């Protein structure tokens, strides 16, 4: 993706433009630039980064992105396509079904992810898993591992990615250093989906089923009552 600012202070983005999940309305949307730094200023001061204010095309709220500057030349200032989201969309997840300790740990994990602190997200995900192992016992741990295997097959995770997920969640803090694999944005994104599914399968699905069954018991009269 080529992005540059021309001498008229206009931002040019090739191909599809910039699309991301808006931190305000959580919609995957395009952004329109509303505050672009002046070409002259950038060219005089030569900073390493340029910050640009956008408007979310869906909700109109402001979204700020920071770009590394690739090069300066008389006609344009080229920016890197890998921007930094100053404020990221928060992940929503029905946390209330989780055991209390796991809930508070995973909440922090999600905050780390939203702040783009991907290794911190990995560490907090491991602590969440450790809390669950304690809560669910050895059998529960094995079931969680089976669920991870299922996710591997369903999501067609390659061996390397699966190995990383397994090491993050099922590795031990006493393993030889480094006892946790390093996570970049892509791996953290996969881990987030794995955690989401793992927790959903283990707690949310069960809790919702139980809730629905209890509800049914109350609303549907049993045959004996109905015939009585």
Q: In the bound complex, what is the minimum distance in angstroms from residue 86's beta carbon to Zn ion?
A: 14
Interface residue with Zn ion among 1, 28, 34, 59 (CB under 5 A) is: 59
Q: Which stretch binds Zn ion (CB under 5 A): 55-63, 84-92, 109-117, 193-201?
A: 55-63
Residues 206-220 as b/e (b if ≥16 CB within 10 A, e otherwise) read: eeeeeeeeeeeeeee
Interface residue with Zn ion among 5, 36, 56, 102 (CB under 5 A) is: 56
Q: In the bound complex, what is the minimum distance in angstroms from residue 186's beta carbon to Zn ion?
A: 24
Closer residue to Zn ion (CB): 58 or 155: 58
Burial (CB < 10 A; 0-12, 13-18, 19+), residue 55, is middle
C-alpha separations of 206 from 67, 171, 185, 202, 213 in Å: 44, 26, 31, 7, 10
Q: In the bound complex, what is the minimum distance in angstroms from residue 166's beta carbon to Zn ion?
A: 36
Q: Which stretch binds Zn ion (CB under 5 A): 56-64, 108-116, 197-205, 216-224?
A: 56-64
Q: What is the DSSP string of 13-58?
A: E-TT--EEE-TTT--EEEEEEEE---HHHHHHH--SEEEEEEEETT
Q: In the bound complex, what is the minimum distance in angstroms from residue 18's beta carbon to Zn ion?
A: 13
If one asks whether residue 209 binds Zn ion (CB under 5 A), the answer comes out as no
Query: Within 17-46, which residues bind Zn ion (CB under 5 A)?
Result: 22, 24-25
Closer residue to Zn ion (CB): 60 or 221: 60
Q: In the bound complex, what is the minimum distance in angstroms from residue 85's beta carbon to Zn ion?
A: 13
Say whether the peptide bond before residue 199 is cis (omega within 30 degrees of 0).
Answer: no
Pairing relation of β-strands 19-21 and 28-35?
antiparallel
Q: Which stretch binds Zn ion (CB under 5 A): 53-61, 90-98, 118-126, 187-195?
A: 53-61
Q: In the bound complex, what is the minimum distance in angstroms from residue 62's beta carbon to Zn ion?
A: 9
Q: What share of the chain is helix, strand, coil (3-state, %, to 5)?
A: 50, 20, 30
Cβ of 51: how many Cβ atoms within 10 Å? 15
Closer residue to Zn ion (CB): 24 or 30: 24
Residues that bind Zn ion (CB under 5 A): 22, 24-25, 56, 58-59
């Amino acid at each position: 993706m080529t992005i540059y600012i021309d001498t008229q202070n206009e931002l040019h983005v090739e191909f599809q433009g910039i699309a991301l999940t808006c931190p305000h309305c959580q919609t995957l949307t395009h952004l329109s630039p509303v505050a672009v730094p002046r070409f002259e200023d950038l060219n005089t001061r030569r900073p390493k980064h340029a910050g640009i204010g956008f408007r979310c095309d869906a909700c109109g709220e402001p979204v700020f992105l920071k770009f590394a500057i690739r090069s300066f030349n008389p006609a344009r200032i080229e920016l890197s396509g890998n921007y930094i989201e100053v404020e990221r969309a928060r992940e929503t997840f029905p946390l209330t079904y989780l055991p209390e300790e796991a809930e508070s740990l995973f909440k922090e994990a999600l905050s780390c992810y939203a702040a783009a602190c991907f290794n911190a997200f990995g560490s907090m995900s491991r602590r969440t898993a450790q809390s669950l192992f304690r809560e669910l016992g050895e059998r529960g741990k094995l079931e969680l591992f089976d669920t991870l295997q299922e996710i591997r097959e369903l999501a067609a995770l390659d061996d390397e990615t699966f190995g990383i997920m397994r090491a993050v969640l099922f590795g031990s803090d006493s393993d030889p250093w480094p006892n946790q694999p390093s996570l970049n944005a892509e791996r953290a994104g996969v881990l987030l989906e794995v955690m989401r599914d793992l927790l959903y399968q283990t707690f949310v699905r069960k809790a919702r089923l139980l809730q629905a069954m209890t509800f049914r018991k109350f609303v549907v009269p049993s045959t004996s009552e109905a015939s009585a």
